[in-house]
Amino acid sequence: MNWKRALEEYGNYLVLEKAYANNTIEAYIRDLTKLADFCISDLEIKDCTKLSTENIRLFIINLYEQEASSKSQARILSSLKSFYNYLELEECISVNPFSKIDNPSIVRKLPETLSKEEVDTIINSVDLSGKFGERNRTILETLYSCGLRVSELVNLQCSRIFLEEGFLIVLGKGSKERLIPLNKILITYLKNYLSLIRSHQNIAPGHEDFVFLNNRGKQLTRVMIFTIVQKEAIKAGIQKKISPHTFRHSFASHLLEGGADLRAIQSLLGHESISTTEIYLHIDRRFVREEIIAHHPRK
């Protein structure tokens, strides 16, 4: 059953059987559309009855990458569970993929971060002799050096990178642009990748301006970036459970440790509210505490 038809029938069910208010129904459909868009564009799943528990976990990771709050995640997952309970009731599915999915805790946890040494270990462990070595190393360095969201990375365009001037322009949430300076290491990696690798690829029509491409010359998906990060971290011997967003968190916390102003970090990350950036103050305090415990003369 395709997503469009399923959502239309579910909307009718909510009206006729549940007698929900229009605003409530619109909220349900809006949440379900997020899942449908992700499945169609990133997972190439056009039939809503073919979803697996692993697919759902990837969608939850995507919500996290998009910085959805735990409250938003809980609400969205509640909407999705209701929809799949309906599909089960209608005997459209025999196994409910949400049966083993728990709602996220509303308590906001401190994000996992990498040390500077761990970041360097992962990036330096990339096998440059491999077909995608230069690309993968550049992806990891871009995530870290620019603090990009994974959606911003996959949508990064060649026309918005200015290597000679030393900056790039990112299209962030709400289609808001922000300018991010480039360090010498990333400039070198980008030059190598763009001139030695990307320039020799057969690029698919419509994908000419995207920076990072797959072996078919098409824009990389968010799921593919997650896979690259996981594989390179495992190869480097990193035991922490990390995602592309871990590089963004590490970028911010390392800036704060180095004395950067919180407002400057807010601007670089593209946070609309300073309260979102303030979580890194807690990370910094944790870092200070660990340093004191490790180096205190009376330990």
Determine which one of 10, 28, 193, 280 is catalytic: 280
Helix (H) or strand (E) holding 162: strand 161-162
Q: Any catalytic annotation for residue 271? A: yes
**What are the b/e assignments for 258-270, b being 16+ CB within 10 Å?**
eeeebeebbebbb
Determine which one of 137, 198, 248, 249 is catalytic: 248
Helices 222-235 and 133-146 pack at an angle, to 10 degrees, of 100
Determine which one of 135, 245, 249, 254 is catalytic: 245
Closest of 221, 164, 228 to residue 191, by C-alpha? 164
* Amino acid identity at 5: R
Helix (H) or strand (E) holding 170: strand 167-171
The tokens of 232 are what?
A: 């390179």
Determine which one of 149, 198, 222, 249 is catalytic: 149
Determine which one of 30, 71, 108, 173 is catalytic: 173
Give the ranges where 49-183 is alpha helix by DSSP (H). 53-65, 70-89, 116-124, 133-146, 150-154
Q: Any catalytic annotation for residue 245? A: yes
Q: How many residues does the chain have?
A: 299
CA dist list (Å): 139 to 136, 175, 251, 255:
5, 22, 14, 20
Q: Any catalytic annotation for residue 248? A: yes
Determine which one of 135, 137, 249, 271 is catalytic: 271
Give the ranges where 133-204 is alpha helix by DSSP (H). 133-146, 150-154, 184-192
Our measurement of the distance from residue 238's CA atom to the centroid of its chain's CA atoms, rounded to an integer in Å, reads 19
CB 49 within 8 A of CB 95: no
Residue 109 is classified by DSSP as P
CB 274 within 8 A of CB 263: yes
Q: Among all residues, which ones are annotated catalytic?
A: 149, 173, 245, 248, 271, 280
